[in-house]
Amino acid sequence: MAVTAGAAPRRSNQRAACAVLAVALAGCSQGPSAVTIRPVVDGPSDDMDATPLGLDTVEMSVAHAGGADQKLQLFKRGQALELSGLPFGDDLVVHMWGPDRDVTDNIAYGRTCVVSVAADAPVPEPHLFFSRKGKFATLDIRPVTRVAGLSIPYLGSALLIAGHDDDGPVTEVERFDPSTGEFHPVGMVGQRDQAVQALFTPPNGPQRALVIGGSANNLGVNDIDVIEGLNDGLMRMSVATSDMGRVGLTATTLGNGNVIVVGGRIPGGPVVGDIDEIAPSASDSTPLPSKIAMLAHPRAGHTATRIGDARAAEVLIAGGADDTGTPVGTAERFDPLSNGLIDTTASPPIMVHPRSGHAAVPLIDGSVVFIGGLDATGPVRELEGYRPGVGFFRYSNAVLSVDQAVVDFATTILPDGRILVTGGRAGPAGGRIERAYVIDTNPFDGTPIITPTDSMMYARAGHQAVLLCDGTVLITGGAPPGFPAERYNPPDTGRR
């Protein structure tokens, strides 16, 4: 079936996408069947705020990922959305603007994930999510309700794992594939809440998604759930044994593909200072955990942030609380070359605002920004930074407002390098909020600029937010049962 400017797509969001294009370009008619590629256009579901209304034209292009357009075409009302005469390649992307990319007030954008077009393969029909830029759009999918769950970007899709609902831990694993628009369960894992995630990439084996730690029935979960994608699109679930049954721990992928797991608290027990490494076994590259070091300052509710993309990039361990609940002010640095902590006794890195339950996000200039969290007196609204060779420092005028979240929020690095912060609570006893904001950096002095953006349709806290392969952000969970997922469509900058 050829998709016209106004035609309904297949699989998920059928009514939504037809509504988008029917309103924008009128009519759900069919075009010629002999085309090279027919993108399937998805869109918001019953969400007029995110739906691009009143479009007389749209513009589509095909380009190699990150490259210049190879073919560009303008479509008027009623024309079939189909592109022919495309170059062969395994890294092609279809872009769509409304009304077109060169008009200063273009309001809508969408792109596909990377697709392959080959002479000896079936013609692809990739999905493209098209909506107003800078808006949250409601989707026609309703994931399993989960709070404090995980969303893992894996093999171009998003895996939703773990967390809890009103009845206890959630064991169902769900997968959303933006390239096909399909959302469905893919398996089950053991019961666990407050777990952490990491991607494990051995040099001689497939990448795997790991779910580590957490608790079930007030006991720590020692097993690691290992998820591996197969060639037929299915997921293989397996278990690796460990002794990392802790909450408030962190898992960080190193530059060499291994994972370090740091600190945490044994449920009902003490805070620990263990640093474990998950490395490939010598026989078959399966993940094998082992204890390699100890923190000088045991902590839970901290962050562990890899600084840079180099194979030997160090990890900054900051914040968290000790056994007495007191925030830990002294940060520690892990060196993957020595598999140990760097001696900073002579000049220890001290946080401006010791905090726990915060977020730490790397910036494109090599620094790290710390957002939210709690200190000994309550919410921390002042952002602070860390830069290698400088240490922690205070920003000028980078302070969250009293109605912006400091706990239970989610952060996502957007394709243009900005940080999207969604939902959460303005205090530890506050209600869920729907507000969102974007953190950009001043190009002259690197100071964060906090700018409110569109609000989510639903208030969420302890939710999941994951960047998809098309540059949009999938928002799930953290809301009452039955609430639909949402999708944030950033500007097209950085999404080539």
- Give per-residue pLDDT as tens, 418-436: 999 999 999 999 999 999 9
- Going by pLDDT thresholds of 50, 70 and 90, the confidence category of residue 194 is very high
Burial of 347 (0-12, 13-18, 19+ CB in 10 A): exposed
Contact 134, 495 (CB under 8 A): no
At the fourth CATH level, the homologous superfamily of domain 189-345 is Kelch-type beta propeller (2.120.10.80)
Contact 381, 406 (CB under 8 A): yes
Residue 96 pLDDT > 70, yes or no? yes
Domain 351-496 has CATH 2.120.10.80: yes
Report the predicted TM-score, pTM, of the whole model to 2 decimal places: 0.91
At 23, phi and psi to the nearest 5? -70, -40
Say which DSSP state 375 is in.
-
105 token code pair: 């007030």
Q: Where in the chain is the domain with CATH 2.60.40?
A: 14-133
| Cα–Cα dist 412/19, whole Å | 29
Residue 11 pLDDT > 80, yes or no? no
Output the pLDDT for position 443. 86
Lowest-confidence segment of 4-13, 170-179, 475-484 by average pLDDT: 4-13
Contact 188, 153 (CB under 8 A): no
Lowest-confidence segment of 86-95, 228-237, 284-293, 348-357 by average pLDDT: 228-237
Strand order through the sheet with 150-154? 150-154, 157-161, 172-177, 182-188
| Cα–Cα dist 456/405, whole Å | 14
| Cα–Cα dist 243/220, whole Å | 9
Contact 419, 411 (CB under 8 A): yes
Q: Write the single-letter amino acid at 288.
A: L
Output the pLDDT for position 318. 98
State percent of the chain over pLDDT 70.
91
**How many Å from the N-terminal Cα to the C-terminal Cα in the chain?**
27
Residue 104 pLDDT > 70, yes or no? no
Closest Cα to residue 322, out of 354, 344, 345?
354
Query: Residue range 327-343: average pLDDT?
Result: 97
Share the mean pLDDT of the chain.
Answer: 89
Query: Residue range 17-23: average pLDDT?
Result: 36
127 token code pair: 């999905």
Domain 14-133 has CATH 2.60.40: yes
Q: Where in the chain is the domain with CATH 2.120.10.80?
A: 189-345, 351-496
Contact 128, 180 (CB under 8 A): no
Residue 98 pLDDT > 70, yes or no? yes
